[in-house]
Amino acid sequence: MNLTKEQQAILDGEKGEVLAKVMQTLVRYGELFGATEMVPVTSKHNHLVTSFGLKALGPVYSLMDQLIETGAVSKQTFSVDPRPLDKNVPSNFLLDFIFNNFMYSKQDFYEGQLDKLGLMDKDAFTCTCYMDQVGNKPQKGEVLSWAESSAVVYANSVLGARCNRNSGIIDLMGSVVGFVPKFGLLTDEGRRATWIIDIQTTKKPEAQLLGSAIGMRVMEEVPFIRGLDKWIGTELTDAACTYLKDMGAATASNGAVGLYHVENLTPEAVEQGASLIAEGAQTYVIDDAELQRVYDSYPVMWKNKDATPKLCFMGCPHMSLQQLCDWTDKVERSLKESGNKKVCVPTVFTASPAVLKEFEKTPYADRLKATGVITSYICPLMYMNNPLAGKMPVITSSNKLRTYTTARYYTDDEILAEITKGGK
Amino acid sequence: MKFQGRIVSPGTITAEALVSHGGLNTLASFQKALQFGDKKATCGDQNNPDLYGKQMAGKALCLPQTIGSTTGGLVLYCACSMGRQPACMLFSQPIDSLAAAGAVLADVWLDNVKMPVIDSLGDEFLSYVKDGMKITVNSDGSVDVE
């Protein structure tokens, strides 16, 4: 690795032993992937993946303490993934006991550490930090040190920023020294597509299903998606960005995609077109039958496969303001059709605190409340990630939640029917 | 049989093989063990039929790559810090960014923990090695499988 004088001095310990170890970690991490230099982190804010005070992560908190005590804190303020708990979300006595005494007993302590390390504000807890209401939206070409997979793929693909799929702690360390190793998605070559995805469906593909199919096929490679502009347009409107948010999260969790290009839509695809496609790229055709095949391949992890759903989570990743408004209309309409007044499955829509705050100012908020749907800033994944919740029959339209938990995936239309008409 | 790989974290060790043919979901595999004090680090990932319910601590964990949540690196770091890590990790493919982070964090930040990590051992390594075989990791990045 060729280091600048400044970087070498940090590595040599001129700014303290702890900062030297941070630099050593990043250098060794980068060298494993062929990085030959460290480049400055140029975004205004950082974003961290570790938002939860999980008791099991004690060694992480000790490491954080070492950073704080020696003043090796983040050079940028940062947002962080969603909180794991919210009293608005249905639970029971036993679940609350496990959450508060076994799983997330370090939550308050950890939030105190985040504050000392450079948290943007007390409500900067969301996986969709790039929403306008949150205020952590990187510019095209900026270099990031993020780790949250759904945010990394969005920042790279939709915003044209540059970030690798880092692990937690590495994200913080890049911000602490202000440099990250240059490899992979930080390079022009690493951003070229090695797969062509040819969309040949007869209707708009379900975003979460399409992302899942792409992710499972290309894994960590870069896909160039053709034929999607026919369904979601050639402008990055709110609706298109919401679609790409959900599709991208599925590519990143069902596979390990960190960047995709959509022909005639995403910034680099618009600028560079087919020249982004690497020589020898493979092709994956996605038609209606292929999407059905992928859908049918999902295992149902419930003990009783015919159980009545006890909870529905929408919003992994967190919903946009437009999505909350659109779903309010959908739920109202479907309830009216069914003759029901309230949803028949306890349902939670999750969004960032900042988006929820804006939503509360709209007339939609009272209308959604009247349907019985609960809104929350929680991370559904963190809620589900324990033995008790794992046994509960939970439904979701999130392919990320399906992948990491026992939640059962349904398409948006199916979810709507489940929560408003009992699946009829 | 000898296989040559690349040294990610140095060290030598002999241990019994534990093989995952699919990617290791680090969070799903270790979380329960770290949460509830299981010193054997019994794998909790129901989606991994090769490892589910088996002891990972002290084994020579043979795998293609790790998958899943980007908390993977810090989970591996925690397993090492709490003494519940595999004896070594042997990757058939080039290491992924999450496992790389965990391996480097453990090597740089933990004084008394050594977990040799070797990658790029090749597909043939993963086809050949079976649970219970004797694995020896050598200082030059080669791995003997008996």
pLDDT (tens digit, 9 = 90+) per residue, B68-89? 889 999 999 999 999 999 999 9
Tell me which architecture the domain covering A5-186 has in CATH. Answer: 2-Layer Sandwich (3.30)
Residue ranges of alpha helices (H) inside chain B are: 26-35, 72-81, 97-109, 123-128
Query: How confident is residue A354, by pLDDT bands cut at 50, 70 and 90?
Result: very high
Please name the helix (run of DSSP H) or strand (run of DSSP E) that holds residue A304, with its range, or none: none
Domain with residue B57: its CATH number is 3.50.30.10
The terminus-to-terminus CA distance of chain A in angstroms comes to: 61
Contact A166 B108 (CB under 8 A): no
Query: How confident is residue B27, by pLDDT bands cut at 50, 70 and 90?
Result: confident
Beta strands in chain B (DSSP E): 2-4, 6-9, 13-19, 24-25, 60-63, 66-67, 88-91, 117-119, 134-137, 142-145
Residue ranges of alpha helices (H) inside A262-372 are: 267-272, 288-296, 321-338, 353-360, 364-370
Domain boundaries, chain A: 5-186, 189-296, 311-421
As a whole number, mean pLDDT of residues B31-51 equals 88
- Note the Cα A17 to chain centre separation in Å: 34
Q: Is residue A50 less than 8 Å (CB to CB) from chain B? A: yes
Which of B32, B74, B80 to substitute to test the interface with A, most A CBs within 10 Å? B74
Query: How confident is residue B36, by pLDDT bands cut at 50, 70 and 90?
Result: confident
Contact A56 B81 (CB under 8 A): no
Q: Is residue A164 less than 8 Å (CB to CB) from chain B? A: yes
Q: What is the ipTM of this complex?
A: 0.95
Query: How confident is residue A166, by pLDDT bands cut at 50, 70 and 90?
Result: very high
Q: Which residues of chain B make contact with A147, given a CB cutoff of 8 A?
A: 70-71
Which of B71, B96, B101 minimises the CB distance to A50? B71
| Residue span of the structural domain in which B71 resides | 2-145
The terminus-to-terminus CA distance of chain B in angstroms comes to: 7
SS3 content of chain A, % helix, strand, coil (to 5): 45, 15, 40
Residue A327, pLDDT score: 98
Answer whether A104's CB lies under 8 Å from A72's CB. no
User: Under CATH, what is the fold of the domain A311-421?
Assistant: Aconitase; domain 3 (3.30.499)
Rounded to whole angstroms, how far apart are CA atoms B103 and B101? 6
pLDDT at A201 over 90: yes
As a whole number, mean pLDDT of residues B45-71 equals 93
Residue A104, pLDDT score: 87
Chain A residue with minimum CA distance to B107:
A25
pLDDT digits (tens, 9 = 90+) for B82-111: 999 999 999 999 999 999 999 999 999 999
pLDDT digits (tens, 9 = 90+) for A295-313: 999 989 898 999 999 999 9
Residue A241, pLDDT score: 98
Rounded to whole angstroms, how far apart are CA atoms A254 and A209? 10
